[in-house]
Structure 1
Amino acid sequence: MNYENILLQSEEKISIITINRPESLNALNAKTIQEISTALDQLNSDSSCRAIIITGSGEKSFVAGADIKEFSDFGQEKAEEQARNGHNSLFNKIESLSKPVIAAVNGFALGGGLELAMACHIRYASENAKLGLPEVTLGLIPGYGGTQRLPKLVGKGLANEIIFSAKMILAQRAKEIGLVNEVFPIEELLTKTKELAKTIANNSPMAISKAILAVNLSDTDKGFETEIKSFGELFDMDDKKEGVSAFMEKRKPTF
């Protein structure tokens, strides 16, 4: 499939979605959101893809935010519809995807860009990355999950500070507070992210899928029961049989 606003490439069990709107610092508009969503559906059904990376084109910006021009004249009903559609078609989809999604945050990740990164399962960032939720400076609040995912990552107090102040967080500080996992020089970011993705891709895809489900429910009353049930279900699956056999035979498993 041909895309206008994203690039899609695959190599060695991993796929890379690159948001490619450099003229607008890769800002998210409705078409870009839909294209990413369509690409994720395509990759989720592709058995050769075991892990997905989302990044932005160039070295200045991952995603600088939502495309403000697109919603500047919205009223309440239209704004709620846009937020709900964004949640359902992309942000929640990423979080619950059966394959791990890693954000390679290269530069600005603001507003919807940070919300996109937070929806991913893992976040790596470049040293020049700047992250923040500036919505209150527009008289708004984050609408794509920012008020919900940020407290889970950094705690309620820091989330309040970041949202209320609209301050940008530098990459190293983002790592210190748990907003990103690792920080690398910009020229090493994608290489390091690929290395992690390839390591993950060599593990059991069924086990990772079950782990994603259990971790996503870790802050609910269904978390422990989901872990127990998933643990048991895996015992009847081929990946478990191959993994245990490989361990006993002192060889690497082939999943």
Structure 2
Amino acid sequence: MTKPYVKKDIQDRIATVEFFHPAHNSLPSDILAELAETITEVGQDDNVLVIIVKSGGERTFCAGASFKELISIEDEKTGEQFFSGFANVINAMRTCPKFIIGRVQGKTVGGGVGLASSMDYCMATKFAAIKLSELNLGIGPFVVGPAVERKLGVSGMSQIAIDANTFYSAEWARDKGLFANVYETTEELDIAVSEFAKNLCEYNPEAVKHMKQMFWRGTEDWDELLIERAKISGKLVLSSFTKEKLKRFK
């Protein structure tokens, strides 16, 4: 079985950051920390003009939080630290001075939807259905909520957050603004992502930097906001309701 990893590859001034976990690309703390660190690192690299974020494997883009780690949380501080991992990745993408292209090849759940929502431009296959399942576990999409709401609007975000058992199609996500384009196959997606990234390399890096700041205007408080949200999730994950729900995954 392939071990979990985060790796980067820089070619022709395009940095590709890829994460993988054998449990449907779920995100434990160490992967989250490495992902945030890698995105920050390539964002500061003057040799990089564009960043592509993708996951390994052919099916699920990201299953969200690691259930194994959620089950092991026994105190509020540990819970806050775990959920802060998602906050750190979102904030790394938010403050990165380069455009980040998301390549979403398959289903995306919970924190994975937050990840996709934090891309500057996201492209997907028709298999990339999305679901915010947190409420079903007795917690909620508190940390990723601001990023998802920014892309889908309050209406779209509340719809998938409340209907926590349903996968919404890639076409629905495209119509709501999460995905810019939806492709029939992964091969078509990869060609489109590659060509788009090359086109973005033609832009003035200074203009891109200012555009990023403009697009993310009004999110300057997210460093504090998302950590406050992580505290809420850190408390709720210890509730008897959530503990009972998580037992099913042991």
Conserved 8 A contact 2:6-2:19: yes
1:188-213 Cα deviation digits (max 9, x unpaired): 11221121111111100111001100
Q: Write out the 4+ residue segments of structure 1 that deviate beyond 3 Å after TM superposition.
A: none
Query: 1:178 and 1:99, CA in 2 relative to 1: closer, same or farther beyond 3 A?
Result: same
Tell me which residue corresponds to 2:116: 117
For the pair shown, the structure with the greater C-alpha radius of gyration is 1
| 1:11 has 2:16 as partner | no
| 1:28 has 2:33 as partner | no
Q: How far apart are the structure 1 equivalents of 2:212 and 2:44?
A: 17
Q: How far apart are the structure 1 equivalents of 2:24 and 2:219?
A: 34
Shift of 1:85: 4.3
SS for the counterpart of 1:62 is: coil
User: TM-score, normalised to structure 2's length?
Assistant: 0.80
SS for the counterpart of 1:33 is: helix
Tell me which residue corresponds to 2:233: none
Q: Which amino acid is the alignment partner of residue 18 of structure 2? A: T
Tell me which residue corresponds to 1:211: 211
Tell me which residue corresponds to 1:236: none
CA root-mean-square deviation: 1.9
Query: 1:154 and 1:51, CA in 2 relative to 1: closer, same or farther beyond 3 A?
Result: same
Tell me which residue corresponds to 1:159: 157
SS for the counterpart of 2:182 is: strand
Query: 1:82 and 1:9, CA in 2 relative to 1: closer, same or farther beyond 3 A?
Result: same
| 1:78 has 2:78 as partner | yes
Q: How far apart are the structure 2 equivalents of 1:120 and 1:82?
A: 21
Query: 1:201 and 1:58, CA in 2 relative to 1: closer, same or farther beyond 3 A?
Result: same
Query: 1:77 and 1:35, CA in 2 relative to 1: closer, same or farther beyond 3 A?
Result: closer
| 1:170 has 2:194 as partner | no
Shift of 1:77: 3.2
Q: Which amino acid is the alignment partner of residue 7 of structure 1? A: K
Q: How far apart are the structure 2 equivalents of 1:156 and 1:4?
A: 34
Q: How far apart are the structure 2 equivalents of 1:90 and 1:195?
A: 26
Q: How far apart are the structure 2 equivalents of 1:108 and 1:143?
A: 20
Tell me which residue corresponds to 1:40: 39
Conserved 8 A contact 2:33-2:85: no
Aligned identity (percent) is 23
Conserved 8 A contact 1:127-1:186: no
Matches within 5 A, 1:1-255: 5-21=5-21, 23-74=22-73, 75-87=75-87, 89-145=88-144, 147-166=145-164, 167-184=166-183, 185-217=185-217
Q: Which amino acid is the alignment partner of residue 31 of structure 2? A: T
Shift of 1:219: 7.7
> Which structure has more RCO (C-alpha within 8 Å, separation ≥ 6)?
2
Q: How far apart are the structure 2 equivalents of 1:40 and 1:219?
A: 18
Q: How far apart are the structure 1 equivalents of 2:85 and 2:219?
A: 24
Conserved 8 A contact 1:114-1:132: yes
SS for the counterpart of 1:24 is: coil
User: TM-score, normalised to structure 1's length?
Assistant: 0.79
Q: How far apart are the structure 1 equivalents of 2:152 and 2:44?
A: 33
How many pairs were matched up?
215
Q: How far apart are the structure 2 equivalents of 1:82 and 1:4?
A: 17
Q: How far apart are the structure 1 equivalents of 2:130 and 2:191?
A: 21
Query: 1:218 and 1:30, CA in 2 relative to 1: closer, same or farther beyond 3 A?
Result: closer
